């Protein structure tokens, strides 16, 4: 039986717009009753146009923002940060890798400090233990010990994204939210990062929530696909069903706007075996 590691039930997120002398405040629903499960060890891709609610959902899943209504359950624990401030243990379960590897790392910190900061905040590890774990994580993402003492500006975009992935994994989360993790990278570097993510998923039995607008990458990496449109899930199914037998008109429109490609041609494009 598949193990459900994350369960979202009827999640809503409302934002109140600012009023003025000539305009009343208004409520904008960014998410409208989102429900889905994430299975341990799988990759769930979330696709949709800009403004559909993907990033809002990512912020709720990573405990940055609270849902307005609905239930979020991670590893069997109900979580609502409106009711209870998230503990360090809660935050360790889910981590995020952002789209822009140039903007997600503090340019004033060396790589070692960047990797150890989550450990300083969330654990009681000694400095030598933190350094040892940071060194181990650098090796896991294909970087060298010498990189520990360097600054982010000294690295390429692909190397910076490796650092961001290492930082996200340093607390040993069970779920990684990947918000357009390869869209800012060259194609050859995309392939390297996707291969790295696949290897890390196998090694740590990670569950991925992979947010992307690139359906060719989604077709390559996802186990299941969830299609969002104006804050709602309009379709969710296995990768094969979504790409070969889409049911909703919006899904069909998305696929029609994407160049036809087989998994083999996608692998060739990305340079993967």
* Residue 33 reports pLDDT greater than 60: yes
Confidence at residue 37, expressed as pLDDT on a 0 to 100 scale: 97
Contact 261, 85 (CB under 8 A): no
What is the CATH T-level fold of the domain 4-270, as seen in this structure?
Answer: Rossmann fold (3.40.50)
Length in residues, the chain: 273
pLDDT tens-digit readout, 113-136: 999 999 999 999 999 999 999 999
pTM score, two decimals? 0.89
Is residue 228 within 8 Å of 47, Cβ to Cβ? yes
Q: Is 152 exposed, middle or buried (0-12, 13-18, 19+ CB in 10 A)?
A: buried
At residue 70 the predicted structure's pLDDT band, cuts being 50, 70 and 90, is very high
Instruction: Quick: pLDDT tens for 130-158.
Output: 999 999 999 999 999 999 999 999 999 99
| pLDDT surpasses 80 at 57 | yes
pLDDT one-digit tens code per residue, 181-212: 998 888 889 989 999 999 999 999 999 999 99
Question: Residue 262: which pLDDT band, with cuts at 50, 70 and 90?
Answer: low
Host H or E run for residue 240: helix 239-244
Binning pLDDT at 50, 70 and 90, where does residue 216 land?
confident
The whole-angstrom separation of Cα 235 and Cα 51 is 17
Q: What does the domain layout of the chain look like in residue ranges?
A: 4-270
State the Cα–Cα distance between residues 62 and 69, nearest whole angstrom: 16
Residue 24 pLDDT greater than 80, yes or no: no
């Amino acid at each position: 039986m598949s193990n459900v590691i994350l369960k979202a039930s009827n999640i809503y997120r409302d934002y109140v717009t600012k009023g003025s002398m000539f305009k009343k405040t208004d409520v904008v629903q960014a998410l409208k009753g989102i429900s889905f499960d994430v299975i341990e060890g799988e990759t769930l891709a979330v696709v949709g146009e800009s403004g559909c609610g993907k990033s809002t959902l990512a912020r709720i899943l990573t405990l940055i923002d609270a849902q307005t209504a609905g239930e979020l359950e991670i590893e069997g624990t109900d979580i609502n940060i409106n009711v209870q401030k998230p503990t360090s243990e809660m935050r360790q379960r889910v981590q995020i890798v952002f789209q822009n590897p140039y903007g997600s790392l503090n340019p004033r910190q060396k790589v070692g400090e960047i990797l150890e900061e989550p450990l300083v905040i969330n654990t009681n590890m000694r400095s030598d233990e933190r350094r040892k774990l940071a060194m181990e994580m650098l090796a896991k993402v294909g970087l060298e010990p010498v990189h520990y003492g360097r600054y982010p500006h000294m690295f390429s975009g692909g190397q910076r994204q490796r650092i961001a992935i290492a930082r996200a994994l340093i607390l040993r989360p069970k779920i990684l939210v990947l918000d357009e993790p390869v869209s800012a990278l060259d194609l050859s570097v995309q392939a390297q990062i996707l291969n790295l993510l696949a290897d890390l998923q196998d090694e740590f039995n990670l569950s991925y929530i992979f947010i992307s607008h690139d359906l060719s990458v989604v077709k390559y990496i996802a186990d299941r696909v969830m299609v969002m449109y104006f804050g709602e899930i309009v379709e969710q199914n296995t990768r094969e069903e979504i790409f070969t037998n889409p049911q909703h008109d919006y899904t069909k429109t998305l696929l029609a706007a994407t160049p036809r490609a087989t998994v083999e041609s996608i692998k060739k494009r990305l340079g993967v075996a």
